[in-house]
Amino acid sequence: MFGSDFFMEIIKKEFFAEDNSILEQAKNVPYDDGVILRDVSYKLKILTDAAKYDVACTSSGVTRKGNGKTMGNAAACGICHAFAADGRCISLLKILMSNECVFDCKYCINRSSNDVPRATFTPDEICKLTMEFYRRNYIEGLFLSSGVIKNPNYTMELMYEVVRRLRVDHGFNGYIHIKAIPGAAQELVEAIGYLADRMSINLEMPTGEGLKEMAPHKTRNTILKPMKQIQTGIFNNRLSHGITDKKSAMQMRNYGDDLYESALSSKLLAGESKVISENRNNDFIIGTRGKYFVPAGQSTQMIVGATKESDYHIINVAEALYKNYDLKRVFYSAYIPINDDSALPALDVKPPLLREHRLYQADFLLRFYGFKASELLTEERPFFNENIDPKCDWAVRHLEHFPVEINQADIAVLLRVPGIGVKSARRIVQARRLGVIDFGDLKKMGVVLKRALYFITCKGKMMYDTKLEESYIVNHLIYNEPPHKAVGQAEANYSQMSLFDYYGKEMYGDNYIFDNHFVTNSKATMGGGV
Amino acid sequence: MIEYVLLHDGTLDGIFTAIYDGFALKKSVYKDKYDDNIAVASKNNYEAHLFCNYIEVATDSTKAAKTVEYIVKKLGMAGYDMAMGVACHFSEEAGEVLFAFLVRGFKVGKGIINKLTDKWVMRAFELSRKTYNESHLMREFIRFSDMRGRLYAKIEPKCNILHMMCNHFADRFPGENWVIFDATHKIAAVHPCYKGWFLMDDLDVDFDRIDEMAHDEYVDLWKLFVDTIAIEERRNEKCQNNHLPKWYRKNMTEWNRRE
Ligand code: SF4
């Protein structure tokens, strides 16, 4: 029935072998492709360690079926493969190409003035690691960033070479995220953009002054210019595929074929591409022939807590980035003191994880819940409340909008109710077409009642006899008391809110930091019940 | 009250043969007086009751194919997927739920999947969701080892989900020879490079021996990567446990640290 007798023979022989000589052979097969694993191992340790502070590790935003010939495919919802001891998801091989950096950004472990072990991967080593990790199902692809070797263009040319070899020589069809180096030539950004799925360029500091203070070799301009270039490239490319909206995930077709056609011309180029020139014109032939430009979109990252900027600053910047640069994601990274520097927080300052967490929550409110940054914070009130999340915080300060009747309220209004997420709001709207909703039904729809109950009515009734009063609700929310019991004001109760609660699935439905774990039907589940 | 249980061999063909025979029995014994009296079960996984008749079913792939075709025709693809999810769930009640779900489905048609007010349909929905969840997670957490150019993986899923994962990997690794062993169900999926995949059953595999054979240098590199990528200042095991249930770890390369 199964055919392929030949392969059956192989299976029998190799996997159920009686013959010990096969065992012996298996142990003695040498690797002979020029990549020496001992070197790779040494470099991998240094260059993973150097890359770990970068936040984004998602593999989302693009769907690409396999091409039937070479390895790889991609799923828009992203796939997560492992979890590190810090609880962060591992989806991509996140490494630096090199940490032999000539820049001296104060906050960075790899700055030129630090005395740390240095290493640089060759393009072949990176290709090998990516391909071999991928085929063992360890990863979804590669996330490559780098310190600046010699100068930005030299670095980006090497990175281009990595992606070119992966896509063309190895036919790799999985996910690739490339970090652009500030100050690199436009042509390089463009050429890489036609081979990568996602590109990002780190904003680093929320304000230009902060950046100047912290990163003497970078300017706001060298960051925003490529960001704009990538945005325009994506926009035009999507138009050329007939896609006019800015949000939907790209469905790619015939990706591989396209690259093979151009493989030949790139091979011709290969000899020449070793030449590092500041002003090459149109050498990146694959680039201009590629069909898809950064199909999974663009993201960026800001460091939180290294400089003085407030949350107000940060979310306003994030809002501007979403609006004016069409970014897919803005990531926030709590500054971890690694360098002893008078311009930076002292070494014993704990990373502001809670603050980072609040920013992610606010970020979700901006992207999926129809909030504006100006509604969440103001110049007079520039920081988020440590004790309650930004949505609750907004709600208790705007009690005039509540209570909301579940059976009537507009979806935009439902989305503003604490405890109701995007998915549950949609379910409510669907379900009430068929009948009247009561509190019991809400729970099944994924509403987090213990937060929502202060703000809603079903059939005109509140769930319990609660007061629509700021301090009353805040106390209940913070101390997590059931509303029909006495309010426990004891300070000790604060410990109930461990960080785990923030990260727990129960409070936030799915995941809000990394848009890709456990997500079976992608978008709808994001941000559960913020 | 269950009066007849049709026992199959636990394979997918077996399950759908039992369904086929079950409906024939329903027609001949109960006519229109049927009141959820029939269930199917795996002969390796059922609890015997005193007043129940047990009938062993001979697996017949023609009957199975007919059943599948009929389910797709009556319940649509979504309904079929749900039935498949139930059929592959490990629990003892799955056979009873599946049969009850199909009895209702054949009456109602495609709309059955939304009829969650019926307790059997609700239960079918829950079971099938669990099955698909496991299959989804397994797709993320399964690890292959290289054995002289061929890929080999071992999984121990609770549900019978091996066949649900294979299209994904066939699409992803078309040019690889790969084998996935499901040690729970003693079956394997085999994918010869550039060909379609197929299942093999009734396997007895000496896994220790295979582990010994698989001498894969990338295992150490991967462990090194996973250890190094974590930020010590952010260590959060609860969060890690929350995302990666311990159950899945035993066959994951990075959790396997015997040496
Ligand atoms: S450019 Fe700045 S942030 Fe990047 S590696 Fe070099 S020192 Fe670090």
Q: Mean pLDDT, to the nearest integer, of B115-130? A: 87
State residue B17's pLDDT score: 95
Distance (Å, rounded) from C-alpha A245 to C-alpha A297?
A: 13
Using the predicted structure, report yes or no on whether residue B79 has a pLDDT greater than 50.
Answer: yes
* Atom in ligand 1 nearest the alpha carbon of residue A111: 7
Same domain, B151 and B215: yes
Residue A65's Cβ-count burial label (10 Å; 0-12, 13-18, 19+) is: middle
How many Å lie between the alpha carbon of A446 and the closest alpha carbon of chain B?
15
Pairing status of strand A198-200 against strand A298-304: parallel
Pair of tokens at residue B30: 């109960």
Using a CB–CB cutoff of 8 Å, tell me whether A81 touches chain B.
yes
Say if ligand 1 is within 6 A of residue A101 CB.
yes
Q: Domain A34-376, what architecture?
A: Alpha-Beta Barrel (3.20)
Q: How confident is the model at residue B222 (pLDDT cuts 50, 70, 90)?
A: very high
State whether A7 and B229 contact (CB < 8 Å): no
Contact in structure between B92 and B49 (CB atoms under 8 Å): no
B145, B90: one domain = no
Q: Which helix (H) or strand (E) holds A405?
A: strand A404-405
Q: Say how far apart CA B93 and CA B212 lie, in whole Å.
A: 39
Could you list the pLDDT tens digit for every one of the 530 residues in chain A?
333 444 455 556 555 544 444 444 444 444 445 678 888 999 999 999 999 888 777 888 888 888 888 888 888 888 888 888 887 888 999 999 999 999 999 989 999 999 999 999 999 999 999 999 999 999 999 999 999 999 999 999 999 999 989 988 888 999 999 999 999 998 889 889 989 999 999 999 888 888 988 898 999 899 999 999 999 989 988 888 888 887 788 877 655 555 544 443 444 344 333 333 333 444 444 444 457 889 899 999 999 988 888 999 999 999 999 999 999 999 998 888 888 888 888 888 888 888 988 999 999 999 999 999 999 999 888 998 888 889 999 999 899 999 999 999 999 999 999 999 998 898 888 888 878 888 888 887 888 888 899 999 999 888 888 888 888 888 888 876 655 543 333 333 333 333 333 333 333 333 333 333 222 222 222 233 33
A276 against B250, higher pLDDT: B250
Nearest to residue A251, comparing CAs of A192, A291, A295? A295
Residue A45 near residue B224 (C-beta atoms within 8 A):
yes
Q: What are phi and psi of A460, to 5 degrees?
A: 80, -5
**Residues forming a β-bridge with A299:** A200, A329
Instruction: Measure the CA–CA gap between A99 and A365, rounded to whole angstroms.
Output: 36
Chain B positions touching A89 (Cβ under 8 A) are 243
Q: Are A353 and B231 in contact, with CB atoms under 8 Å apart?
A: no
Helical packing angle, B94-108 and B61-87, nearest 10°:
100
Q: How far apart, in whole angstroms, are the C-alpha atoms of residue B147 and residue B212?
A: 10
Among B95, B116, B135, the domain boundary falls at B135
| Alpha carbon A175 to chain centroid, angstroms | 13
Q: Are B173 and B197 contacting, i.e. CB atoms less than 8 angstroms apart? A: no
Boundary of a domain, candidates B135, B159, B187: B135
The answer, yes or no, to whether residue B40 has pLDDT greater than 50, is yes
Q: Are strands A141-145 and A92-96 parallel, antiparallel or unpaired?
A: parallel
Q: State which of B119, B135, B151 marks the end of a domain.
A: B135
What counts of helices (H) and strands (E) characterise chain A?
22, 12
- Taking CA atoms, what residue in A is nearest to B177? A7
pLDDT value at residue A507: 33
Chain B nearest-CA distance from A375, in A, is 31
Q: What are phi and psi of A94, to 5 degrees?
A: -100, 105
For residue A157, give both structure tokens: 């040319």
B28 and B85 together in one domain: yes
A53, A95, A103, A106: residue to mutate for ligand 1 pocket, most atoms within 8 A of CB: A103
In terms of residue numbers, what domain contains B45? 4-135
The yes-or-no verdict on residue B93 having pLDDT over 60 is: yes
Write the residue with the smallest CA distance to atom 2 of ligand 1: A105
Cβ of A477 below 6 Å from ligand 1: no
Stated pTM of the model:
0.83
A117 preceded by a cis bond (ω within 30 of 0): no
A82 to chain B, minimum CA–CA distance in Å? 7
Q: What is the pLDDT of residue A481?
A: 62
Nearest Cα residue to A311 out of A239, A269, A233, A363: A363
CB within 8 Å: A518 and B243:
yes
Say if the Cβ atoms of B177 and A504 lie within 8 Å: no
Q: What single-letter DSSP state applies at residue A342? A: T
Same-domain status, B123 and B148: no
How far is the C-alpha of A21 from the C-alpha of B161, rounded, in Å? 35
CA distance B15 to B95: 8
Contact A136 B146 (CB under 8 A): yes
In chain A the first and final C-alpha atoms are separated, in Å, by: 53
Same domain, B101 and B162: no
A-B contacts at Cβ under 8 angstroms = 187
Burial of B32 (0-12, 13-18, 19+ CB in 10 A): exposed
pLDDT tens for residues B56-65?
Answer: 999 999 999 9
User: Does B137 sit within 8 Å of A518, measured CB to CB?
Assistant: yes
* Residue extents of the structural domains in chain A: 34-376, 390-525
Confidence (pLDDT) at B78: 92
Mean pLDDT of B40-44: 88
| Ligand 1 pocket mutation pick from A110, A146, A204 by most atoms within 8 angstroms of CB | A110
Is residue B146 domain-shared with residue B248, that is, in the same domain? yes
Number of structural domains in chain B? 2
Q: Which amino acid is at A215?
A: A
DSSP letters, B132-195, are HHHHHHHHHH---EEETTEEEEEE--SS--HHHHHHHHHHH-TTS-EEEEETTTTEEEEE-TTS
Q: Which atom of ligand 1 is nearest to the CA of A108?
A: 8
- Residue A23 confidence (pLDDT): 42
CA closest to A52 among chain B residues = B229
Give the residue from chain B lying closest to A502, CA to CA: B239
Using a CB-CB cut-off of 8 Å, the residues of chain B touching A79 are 139-140
Ligand 1 atom with minimal separation from the A146 CA: 5
